[in-house]
Amino acid sequence: MKVEVNKPKRDRKNERGAAIVMALLISFLLLVASAGLLMESSMNTANVTDLTAEQQAYNAAESGIQSAVNVLRGNVVPSPLIDSSKPVTDPANKINFVKALQLSTSNVTGDTSGGPRLSRWMSYHSTYTDRVGISENTYTPNNGFAYSLSIKDPDNTGSIVSFTTSGKFNDADAGNPAQKTYTNGANKVIIQYIPATVTDLDAGGTTPASTNWGTFNVQIIGTGADIPAFNRFEIFIRMTKPYDLDRSIRGYIETNPNNAQPPKIIFDAQTFTMAGSIMTLGFGWGSPVNQTITGPPQRWGYEADLQLGNNVITGTMTSPEPTRLLLTAVGYGPRGATKTLEAIIQKDFFNGLSAPATLTLVGPVSTAAPLPATSFNFHPGSSTVAVYSGDDAVSTDIIPPIGTSNDTNLDVVQGSVDGQPPHPFNGTVVGAPSNITNETPRWLSSPAELDKTIKSFYNVADASGRYYASGVQPPDFGNNVTAQGITFCDGNCSLTGDGGGILVVTGQLTLQGNFSFNGLIIVTGQGGVIRQGAGNGTIQGNMVVAPYVNSSMLPVSNPVSTTFLAPQYDLSGGGNSTIQYNSASLAGGMVAVSNFVLGVVEK
């Protein structure tokens, strides 16, 4: 039997409309969530846009650093020229660290920015004048890219120079290298060099600073005496501020026309360069005149008359060049994004120093066991069309055409140049062969120091695909026109055809047929340099022959010798040749190892 139970019904009239409230609440929550999602998406898009703009600003700052390095490497012509009376290729219109820092040369005339920023060398925007637009024609701050530059000297090199001098005569009085007495009993001619000390010379003005490099004192006692031969002298300049560097001024005291008359003096050069500082000789007693005194012995240089009493070696000096620059680049991107980068720019691997002579022969007279047995060999060639010149092709500097690291080897070179056996020379020498010991840069001071340099060249060459192992002949030797490129021959190598830049040979270098090279050549192999075959050869720049044991890169475990081997230089194999100093070619060659970025930091 089914029993039905009647349950009372609940009255829900008061719950009417609850569903709509719930629907509204859920809709509101969904609306808030959607709004949050839209806001997050919008903010993420803005953040991505800002990150992109900041990255673009960072890239613009990097572009500014690279553009400045390109200028410092000499690849940009100033506008306007610094000296419009001289060609674009003249050193006066070439950039260096001093010109990069000086407002008058770094910036264009009328630039009111207040600091050096290379506006003479870069095109700053005509409207937004504080920056260089990377897309000059379309640049606007909202959507364009640009950079600004400022340059400082991080080492505070400044323009203050201090130096001392000392001197010697090759034929000097016993116990007094700075004096020579020519005597005929009581009648004498005494020539003495009196050194100078210059402290805190301000060489940073718009014109070179006046200074002096000592004094020649001439005395004639009684009726005087005969000066029978040219007497070589050397004035050593020791810079103590802002750098510790050495430079030599060389020349000759000439023979006197009669016993009672002072002799003439002839300097090898009138201008010299040391750490970027240009030194120009002047003479309180008269202007020097360029002369060629025919020989043998041949003498070439700037000649002036000496007078009785003191003859002060006056002259001028410009500011030395810093070895580093602090470059600040501010990059500008869209949406007001900016990034600031600071970079230290190193001048070059040698800090502005090249070889001290056009042909530099580093090494002793001979070596014996335990080193290989070697003897100095110098044969300059017998052709009448052979030239060794220290006269810079692009400036007024004259360096020794041939330099040796000791007097004995110099005597061999000088004897050959003067036409003496066993290898008499029939060509032309411009300048005076010299012992360059006092001017030898650190990188040539020992096999260990040179080996460091050679390994650095190897790293650069290997990274750029220009390393050639022993037995592999390079397909080319760099750019002859720009004098740029690096070629590393790890072993014997034959130079023929055109080339330029830096050539390193760790074996024997053979000059063959017709060749032309602009730049720096370094030969470290025991075989040195030889010439084979007819033809015409020209080298513009420097050549260094400095052999040592285990100079090749492979195997890397072999130790180098502690002393150099005797250098070998033999051009008896035929052909005509010219080797001339060219500072522009050297500067081109140094591009591979110059104006490089030591480090970059974001500020």
pLDDT tens, residue by residue, 27-80: 777 777 776 666 665 555 444 446 888 899 999 999 999 999 999 988 899 999
Number of Cβ within a 10 Å radius of residue 160 = 15
Q: Does 24 map to a domain?
A: no
Does the structure show a pLDDT above 70 at 296?
no
In this structure, are residues 304 and 287 in contact, taking their beta carbons and an 8 Å threshold?
Answer: yes
Same domain (yes/no): 151, 209: no
Same domain (yes/no): 418, 300: no
Q: What is the pLDDT of residue 541?
A: 92
Q: Does 300 map to a domain?
A: yes
- Per-residue pLDDT tens for 267-279? 998 888 888 888 9
Does the structure show a pLDDT above 80 at 353?
no
- The average pLDDT across 289-318 equals 83
Both structure tokens of 483: 């004098």
Does the structure show a pLDDT above 70 at 410?
yes
Q: Does 19 map to a domain?
A: no
DSSP state of 483: T
Q: Does 488 map to a domain?
A: yes
- Residue whose C-alpha is closest to residue 510's, from 570, 550, 450: 570
Q: Does 497 map to a domain?
A: yes
Q: What is the pLDDT of residue 47?
A: 47
Same domain (yes/no): 252, 338: no
Same domain (yes/no): 507, 381: yes
Same domain (yes/no): 494, 408: yes
In this structure, are residues 302 and 282 in contact, taking their beta carbons and an 8 Å threshold?
Answer: no
Q: Which among 126-130, 221-225, 590-594 has the top mean pLDDT? A: 221-225
Q: Does 55 map to a domain?
A: no
- Residue whose C-alpha is closest to residue 501's, from 587, 600, 563: 587
- The average pLDDT across 562-582 equals 92
**SS3 of 521-578:** EEECCCCCEEEECCCEEEEEEEEEECCCCCCCCCCCCCCCCCCCCCCEEECCCCCEEE
Higher pLDDT, 13 or 464: 464
Both structure tokens of 346: 């190193």
Q: Could you give the CA distance from residue 158 to residue 207 in angstroms, rounded to a whole number?
A: 15
Q: Could you give the CA distance from residue 541 to residue 360 in angstroms, rounded to a whole number?
A: 11
User: What's the whole-number average pLDDT of the chain?
Assistant: 87
Same domain (yes/no): 518, 374: yes
| Separation in Å, CA 423 to CA 361, 365, 420, 427, 579 | 17, 17, 7, 12, 18
Does the structure show a pLDDT above 70 at 287?
no
Does the structure show a pLDDT above 80 at 240?
yes
CA 597, 102, 323, 591 dihedral sign is positive
Size of the chain, expressed as the number of residues it contains: 603
Determine the residue type at 159: S
Same domain (yes/no): 424, 446: yes
Higher pLDDT, 355 or 551: 551
Domain that holds residue 582: 359-594
Q: Does 31 map to a domain?
A: no
Same domain (yes/no): 430, 495: yes
Same domain (yes/no): 342, 369: no
The tally of domains found in the chain comes to 3
Residue whose pair of structure tokens reads 């060389």 in the numeric block: 250
Higher pLDDT, 195 or 134: 195
Q: Which among 106-110, 142-146, 352-356, 531-535 has the top mean pLDDT? A: 106-110
Q: Does 130 map to a domain?
A: yes
In this structure, are residues 57 and 331 in contact, taking their beta carbons and an 8 Å threshold?
Answer: yes
Q: Could you give the CA distance from residue 579 to residue 253 in angstroms, rounded to a whole number?
A: 28
Q: What is the pLDDT of residue 2?
A: 54
Same domain (yes/no): 151, 243: no
Same domain (yes/no): 221, 133: no
Does the structure show a pLDDT above 50 at 151?
yes
- What's the gap between Cα 548 and its chain centre? 24
Same domain (yes/no): 173, 202: yes
Output b/e per residue, 542-580; b: 16+ Cβ within 10 A.
Answer: bbbbbbbbbbbbeeeeeebbeebbbbbbbbeebbbbbbb
Output 88-93 pairs: Cβ under 8 A, ≥24 positions apart. 89/394, 89/584, 90/394, 91/394, 91/395, 91/583, 91/584
